[in-house]
Amino acid sequence: MDTQSLQAFIAVADLHSFSLAGEQLHLTQPAISKRIATLESQTGAKLFDRINRRVGLTEAGRLLLPRARQILQLVEDSRRQLTNLSGEVRGSLTLATSHHVGLHRLPPVLKAFTQAYPDVELNLRFLDSEQAYHGVLSGEIELAVVTLAPQPNPQVESIPIWVDQLRFVCAPEHPLAGRGSLSLADLVDYPAVLPGPLTFTRDIVVDAFTRAGLAVEVALSTNYLETLKMMASIGLGWSVLPQRMIDGEIVALEVAHPAIVRRLGYLVHTERTLSNAGRAMIAELETARLSLD
């Protein structure tokens, strides 16, 4: 099996599309089809079914997929180990970050890194924290700087750098504004606008209400905190946002509850060999962390 055919196979499996896989790998659809055909010939098994224009894995394809990921990760790890022997900081670095962290926390780190290591080709991906987390687990992403999971997977090393204190907020004209001290029970009388149901931040917030025996009515949700701020500011519901995002457009509520926090930091797979570029990026992140102490 050649690595190019395995890359094509994984891309088609992930995207459920030969054409989208071609776009991702910068290849034509016929080239992707040829690589899949080569792999099917080598394995002696059909790997994909096409049903109603949807591409799905066969039983053989499902069996091969995790092994294909492992093979490519081993090849990439071997390549990194050989490259690392030179001590040079160059090559490519696949770094994932969430939109909020990428906008509000990461720019000084990226600026320092790119100035110090101009020979590194930075492949920066903006993903939801949860997607980035799975990308690190699968080996697709070398390093991620995101919201850390409340209960991390033991295969992922999670290093906190920043702490966001989350505040309950609403529009200045919202009925909750100006009421003084509030309880969590006061909030559930009104609809909320919160991050999506599969996000770490949503889990942290909802868990606080669940522990108090309360259920939150979520009117609208989005994974973009800047959009949540807009929706709260025009009165669509109360929300929860980092302290640093509060300005004249929204009002911070005084809620009688221990501070709710989320931790932001970087993720690496515990069994992955980091490139010299990855190590250099972590050094910049550690410098940022130490500057906050």
Q: What CATH number should be reported for the domain holding residue 237? A: 3.40.190.290
State the pLDDT at residue 110. Answer: 95
CATH number of the domain where residue 36 is located: 1.10.10.10
Does residue 88 sit within a domain? yes
Number of domains, the chain? 3
Does residue 78 sit within a domain? no
pLDDT 10s digits, 45-90:
999 998 877 899 999 999 999 999 888 888 877 776 776 566 677 8
Where would I find the H helices in 143-237?
Answer: 184-187, 200-211, 225-233
Percent of the chain predicted with pLDDT > 90: 71
Name the 3-class secondary structure at 281: helix
Average pLDDT over residues 114-131: 92
User: What is the residue-wise DSSP string for 81-121?
Assistant: HHHHTT----EEEEEEE-HHHHHHTSHHHHHHHHHH-TTEE
Does residue 62 sit within a domain? yes
State the pLDDT at residue 90. Answer: 80
Under 8 Å between Cβ of 97 and 148: no
Question: Is the same domain home to 118 and 91?
Answer: yes
Task: Using the predicted structure, report yes or no on whether residue 293 has a pLDDT greater than 60.
Answer: no
Of 156, 96, 95, 93, whose CA–CA distance to 132 is shortest?
A: 96
Domain that holds residue 156: 83-161+264-292
pLDDT 10s digits, 255-276:
998 889 999 999 999 988 888 8
Spatial distance between the Cα atoms of 245 and 209, rounded to a whole number of angstroms: 22
State the pLDDT at residue 287. Answer: 92
Does residue 118 sit within a domain? yes
Spatial distance between the Cα atoms of 140 and 206, rounded to a whole number of angstroms: 30
pTM beyond cutoff 0.85: no
State the pLDDT at residue 33. Answer: 93
Question: Is the same domain home to 279 and 230?
Answer: no
